[in-house]
Amino acid sequence: MSGDTAIPLTATRPAPPGALRVGLSRGWVEIRTFAREWESIVFTFSLPTLILIMFASIFDGMFDMGMPAVDYYLPGIIAMGLMSVSFQTLGIAVATDRELGTLRRLRGTPMPPSAYFIGKTILVLFLSLGQVVLLLSVAGLFYGADLPTTAQAWVTIGWVLLLGATGCSLLGIAMSSLARSAQAASAVVVIPFLLLQFTSGVFVPVMAMPDWVLTGASLFPLLWMGQGMRAAFFPDEMASMEATGGWDLHLVALALGIWCVVGLVFTLLTFRWKTKKDG
């Protein structure tokens, strides 16, 4: 009928979800996928805690610096754990996604590429917070460790965690592209991580290491993460034991910030969605 209103043939499509929204959903998928493998959960969360328990039990009463072993090792092991769940976990996980073709399939979907990295970041933050909570709980409840009591100390822990995890995550993603396979990624990532644990003040006090070792370790984030954590946990009089003779939190923030930028540049230059054999 001529008086009827014309019905448009095309309807307006809703706008697709943005990268942040998709990335948040992807993060939940990453957490659920990780949680399905109970071996990964046990290893990721328990290893730093088991190391802390072992060191706190073996070396208790053997320190001349007037503090229990658990108090001395706790900040360094927290820093080590953060690098483990960011650098090591992502370095291996991204290489595995690439070899299994997960990255290639995701690249062929409408999902924004940045959503993949947002999802991985959410996974790292989830693992980091869970690991820190577990370490603090065990140290405080079972060993009576002296935990930070000031807001400033907790703020320091927060920004060191955020900057350190971000820089190490980006470095891990970049390192994943250097490995030709997921199996090779374990060696590419784990070997330098193990070396840094023994040269960055985690197990051996920085004042006991040669200058050339400290110089090499200072080029990587773990040394600065450990120094930042010690600044939050240790009394001020122990600052003189650091390589720089003080906590120097401005240098810690600068070094970790530089690594965030360097890690981003390395990731942009080296990241591949396909394996080399796929072209």
Over residues 221-276, the pLDDT tens digits come to 999 999 999 999 999 989 988 888 899 999 999 999 999 999 989 888 888 887 76
Assigned token pair, 117: 């990295």
79, 164 Cβ separation under 8 angstroms:
yes
Helix ranges (H only) for the chain are 19-36, 38-58, 69-83, 89-99, 102-107, 113-143, 151-176, 182-199, 211-217, 221-233, 249-270
Q: Which residue do the tokens 């969605």 mark? A: 273
Q: What is the mean pLDDT of residues 19-33?
A: 88
Give φ, ψ of 69 to 5 degrees: -60, -35
Cα diameter, the chain = 98
Domains of the chain, by residue range, sit at: 19-278
pLDDT score of 169 more than 80: yes
